[in-house]
């Protein structure tokens, strides 16, 4: 039986995600306990290689999403692909509820940046301008 190879175990695990197959390919006796112990021991290297593999697959994944967006038979699939593409590009849909939860934090941050008087002045000046849609600012207390 060949000498066990940690390198082969790691490489096979990154490619397959299968502990038993990775142990066999690496020359280890197949045992889940041994596999989990090796995976834990080499977690940093496995994580590093998984990230590299994911990054290298990025262009292919993008091509798949673009293909779905352009050629899928289902309008729902095309819409989902377009939304996913926009979301990943940083163009998220406006969610008033999510923003509303953070207004208090925004007010606190404004006060920390310009002080209470400065925050009151800025909020007052914004209120006197034309109303726009979006979250309502409140005066800092």
pLDDT of residue 100: 56
pLDDT (tens digit, 9 = 90+) per residue, 12-53? 999 999 999 999 999 999 888 999 999 999 999 999 999 999
Domain count within the chain: 2
User: Rounded to the nearest 5°, which phi and psi values hold at 78?
Assistant: -60, -45
Nearest-CA neighbor of 13 among 48, 50, 44, 55?
A: 50
pLDDT of residue 71: 93
Q: Residue 121 sits in which domain range?
A: 96-128
Indicate whether 71 belongs to any domain: no
DSSP letter at 42 equals: T
| pLDDT < 70 positions in the chain | 1-2, 93-102, 128-141
Indicate whether 48 belongs to any domain: no
Indicate whether 62 belongs to any domain: no
Contacts of 136 (CB under 8 A, 6+ apart): 103
pLDDT of residue 128: 66
Q: Cβ atoms within 10 A of the Cβ of 42, count?
A: 17
């Amino acid at each position: 039986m060949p000498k066990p190879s940690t390198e082969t175990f790691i490489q096979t695990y990154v490619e397959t995600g299968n502990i038993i197959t990775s142990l066999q390919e690496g020359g280890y006796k197949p045992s889940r306990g041994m596999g989990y112990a090796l995976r834990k021991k080499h977690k940093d290297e496995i994580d590093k290689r998984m990230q590299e593999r994911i990054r290298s697959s990025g262009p292919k994944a993008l091509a798949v999403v673009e293909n779905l967006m352009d050629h899928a038979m289902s309008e729902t699939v095309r819409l989902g692909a377009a939304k996913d593409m926009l979301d990943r590009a940083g163009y998220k849909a406006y969610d008033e509820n999510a923003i509303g939860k953070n207004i208090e934090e925004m007010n606190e941050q404004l006060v920390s940046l310009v002080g209470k008087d400065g925050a009151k002045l800025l909020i007052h000046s914004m209120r006197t301008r034309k109303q726009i849609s979006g979250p309502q600012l409140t005066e800092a207390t």
